[in-house]
Amino acid sequence: MKALVWQGTTDIRCESVPDPAIEHERDAIIKVTSCAICGSDLHLYDHFMPGMKAGDVMGHESMGEVVEVGAAARKSLKVGDRVVIPFTIICGECEQCRRGNFSVCETTNRNKHLADKAFGHTTAGLFGYTHLTGGYAGGQAEYLRVPFADTTHIKVPEGVPDEKLLFLSDIFPTGWQAAVQCDIQPTDTVAIWGCGPVGQMTVRSAVLLGAERVIAIDRLPERLSMAKAGGAITINFEEESVVERLNELTGGKGPEKCIDAVGLEAHATGSVDSIYDRAKQAMMLETDRPHVLREMMYVCRPAGVLSIPGVYGGLLDKIPLGAVMNKGLTIRTGQTHVNRWTDDLLNRVLENQIDPSFVITHTEPLGSGPEMYKTFRDKQDGCIKVVLKPAMNGALHG
Amino acid sequence: MDDVVRRTALPGRSQSPHDKLARGLGYFSIALGVAEMVAPKAICKAAGVEGIENVVRGYGAREIATGAAILTSHNPEPWIWTRVAGDLADIATIATGLRQDNNSKGRSALTLAALAAVTIVDLACANGLNSEKASRKTAARDYSGRSGFPQGLQAARGAARDFKVPDDMRTPELLRPWT
């Protein structure tokens, strides 16, 4: 089959790889109808995340049709079922899964020893996301093997376009969890750093959850225009001071809830501290560029909440924990517990409360995937979200 | 729209011609650096300058470090600019060989011409890499019609206010009046 394969830093290729096969009785194989490139795939493309090996198949946002089911997965799946695959592989049985903490499933990371060393304790296995999280082949491919398939799936109805459902795999529940864990009150101002795909979903989630005001921060006009369309007040950090503007909008008190939808690759020349971080990264003295964390720790209202869906990889420098401690801020973070939210979110899509397809700017055949990694990374062609179709020939734009 | 940064990757690849050129310059840097470290005397002779073998060795170390940075970085642009700065240092050094009493000034002139050519390639590469990235001045697609709310923005505001936030994600009651 064809698949997008990581071959080194910024080197993704569409190559022929062996077809996946059932390896365990809880496995299923799906024929991928749509998959997407996620912002966190760019951390692998740029090789900021450790644990990639040449030949790894990329992708963790996929959906399709079940074509083969292992014996133990037949209790909940059958051939022909239409499913979205969450990026977290979950057993559904361990203590964490029973609590709904699916992204830290204790069972599914088959490289548990590596995660134990890196993070202290293992997290869930993830599709196409380094050997630290299991080294599972990803879903930017014609077919995908789904381990623990009896629990690792979201069944979706026929008759609804892929584009409305695909993002249940990651960015929609990620934006939702980012807003939910802020415990938004009707009087809250919610500030969201980053208007990429997760930031866009977070804006919509905060609006649905009833925030009084949602403020979105970015530098690219097309991303800000999309955030504004979703109900946000926008701040272009290249044109004005984020801290001054946020204080101005909140009567000098700062936003109650701050959300980091940027993560470890904050714009490298966007601020003095990011230039400092970039220099330290080049000398391997720091792994991430935490400009957004610093800014929201500083500007958040005392007793407020910091929500961090943005991905961080390792060791960070010059974090103003004094501000966090003295202001009594609460930090909530983590990979998304996808299946905790998807029943509810699927209903909201089916009830036309939200249509997540608004974020798609490029639809391309799988074979164009390598080009689209660079287009997405360098924010060319107005790119915000790329959907890839293994069965497609020509490209669709907008 | 004319001012949107166009796609630049080569068909079927995740890199642009400038990315490929940068990698080539990275390998060139390392090869030249090794030559300067191993045979500085021969390099000096070829360039028409003598007695600066230690300087050439230092330049060799610079070339190797820059080349390695280009090949390992996800963003080679700043390292290509480092090469441009190095080119200027090389030109200033070799220009000392143009003095009238230097019998080898012809070789120095040829070396300067080669350095000028390399500098032009480096500049073209650095500028090309820079122009491939969207900036405030260049990216201007308008997505102002994409609310994502089929029933409109006003209907969406607070539509999920009845959602029950799980206990583990709620703000403690004592803090709630302050947030």
ipTM of the complex: 0.93
Task: Report the number of distinct structural domains present in chain A.
Answer: 2
Q: What is the largest CA-CA distance in chain B?
A: 89
What DSSP designation does A18 have?
P
> Are A18 and A125 in the same domain?
yes
Question: Does the beta-carbon distance from B11 to A371 stay under 8 Å?
Answer: yes
- Residues in chain B within 8 Å Cβ distance of A340: 166
User: Are A45 and A165 part of one and the same domain?
Assistant: yes
Chain A hits for B158, CB-CB cut-off 8 Å, are 186, 208-210
Do residues A340 and A292 lie in contact, with contact meaning Cβ atoms separated by under 8 Å?
Answer: no
Mean pLDDT of chain B: 91
Helix (H, G, I), strand (E, B) or coil at B165: coil
Task: Specify whether A323 is located in the same domain as A368.
Answer: no
Does B175 contact chain A (CB < 8 Å)?
Answer: yes
C-alpha distance from B41 to closest chain A C-alpha (Å)? 32
The CATH number of the domain where A253 resides is what? Answer: 3.40.50.720
Nearest to A380 among B1, B7, B72 (CB): B7
Does residue A80 sit in the same domain as residue A144?
Answer: yes
CATH code where residue A350 lies: 3.90.180.10
Are A185 and B132 a contacting pair at CB < 8 A?
no
What is the distance between the alpha carbons of residues A146 and A127, in angstroms, rounded to a whole number?
9
Nearest CA in chain B to A361: B143
Is residue B127 one of the residues assigned to a domain?
A: yes
**Which of A183, A231, A381 has its CB closest to that of B7?**
A381
DSSP string over A282-339: HTTS-S-B-HHHHHHHHHSPTT-EEEE-S---S------HHHHHHHT-EEEE-S--HH
| Contact call for A348 and B143, based on CB within 8 A | no
β-bridge pairing A189-193 and A213-218: parallel
Q: Among all residues of chain B, which has the CA nearest to that of A352?
A: B150
Please check whether residue B19 is in contact with residue B129, taking contact to mean a CB–CB distance below 8 angstroms: yes
pLDDT score of A49: 84
Residue A330 distance to chain B (closest CA, Å): 8
Q: What backbone torsions phi and psi does residue B30 show, to the nearest 5 degrees?
A: -65, -45
B interface mutation test: which of A95, A238, A351, A380 has the most B CBs within 10 A?
Answer: A380
How far is residue A280 CA from its own chain's centroid? 26
**Domain-terminating residue out of A286, A311, A333:** A333
Task: Give domain status of residue B152, yes or no.
Answer: no
The three state secondary structure string of A180-240 is HCCCCCCCCEEEEECCCHHHHHHHHHHHHCCCCEEEEEECCHHHHHHHHHCCCEEEECCCC
Does B58 reside within a domain? yes
Q: What is the pLDDT of residue B179?
A: 55
What φ, ψ does residue A113 adopt, rounded to 5°? -65, -35
CB contact under 8 A, A183 and B4: no
Contact A378 B159 (CB under 8 A): no
Task: Tally C-beta pairs within 8 A across A and B.
Answer: 196
Q: Are A216 and A232 in contact (CB under 8 A)?
A: yes
DSSP A44-85: HHTT-SS---TTEEP-S-EEEEEEEE-GGGTTT--TT-EEEE
Q: How distant is the Cα of B171 from the closest Cα of chain A, in angstroms?
A: 6
B14 alpha-carbon distance from chain centroid: 16
Could you tell me which of A395, A329, A383 has the C-alpha nearest to residue A200? Answer: A383
Check: CB of residue A146 under 8 Å from CB of residue A153. Answer: yes
One domain for residues A164 and A23: yes
Residue span of the structural domain in which B76 resides: 17-131
In a domain, B59, yes or no: yes
Distance from CA of B116 to the nearest CA of A (A): 28
Q: Is B179 on the interface with A (CB under 8 A)?
A: yes
User: B7 vs A200: CB contact, 8 Å cut-off?
Assistant: no
The label of the residue with tokens 């290509």 reads: B80
In a domain, B70, yes or no: yes
Residues A121 and A35 in one domain: yes
Of B9, B139, B161, the CB nearest to A209: B161
**Could you tell me if A127 and A258 lie in one domain?**
no
* Same domain, residue pair A249 and A300: yes
Domain that holds residue A360: 2-170+336-397
C-beta of residue A169 within 8 angstroms of C-beta of residue A84: yes
Tell whether A184 and A74 lie within a shared domain: no
Closest CA to A255 of A308, A333, A311, A185: A185
A86 by DSSP, 3-state: which?
Answer: coil
Using the beta-carbon criterion (under 8 Å), do B73 and A282 form an inter-chain contact?
A: yes
CB A135 within 8 A of CB A111: yes
Q: Which residues of chain B have pLDDT under 50?
A: 1
- The DSSP H or E segment spanning B114 is helix B105-131
Residue A285: its pLDDT value, please? 83
Q: Tell me, what's the pLDDT at B1? A: 46
| pLDDT one digit per residue (tens) for chain A, 398 residues | 999 999 998 999 999 999 999 999 999 999 999 999 999 999 999 888 889 999 999 999 999 999 999 999 999 999 999 999 999 999 999 999 999 999 999 999 999 999 999 899 999 999 999 999 999 999 999 999 999 999 999 999 999 999 999 999 999 999 999 999 999 999 999 999 999 999 999 999 999 999 999 999 999 999 999 999 999 999 999 999 999 999 999 999 999 999 999 998 777 666 788 888 888 877 778 878 899 999 999 999 999 999 999 999 888 989 999 999 999 999 999 999 999 999 999 999 999 999 999 999 999 999 999 999 999 999 999 999 999 999 987 665 55
List C-alpha distances in Å: B67 to B15, B18, B27, B76: 18, 15, 6, 10
In this structure, is residue B138 part of a structural domain?
Answer: no
Give the tokens for residue B12: 């079927």
Domains held by chain B: number: 1
CA distances from B17 to A11, A245, B7, B54 (A): 13, 41, 12, 36
The reported pLDDT for the residue numbered A272 is 85
Domain boundary, last residue among A315, A333, A351: A333
State the best of A381, A384, A385, A386 to mutate against chain B, taking most chain B CBs within 10 Å: A381
A12 and B14 within 8 Å at the Cβ level: the answer is: yes
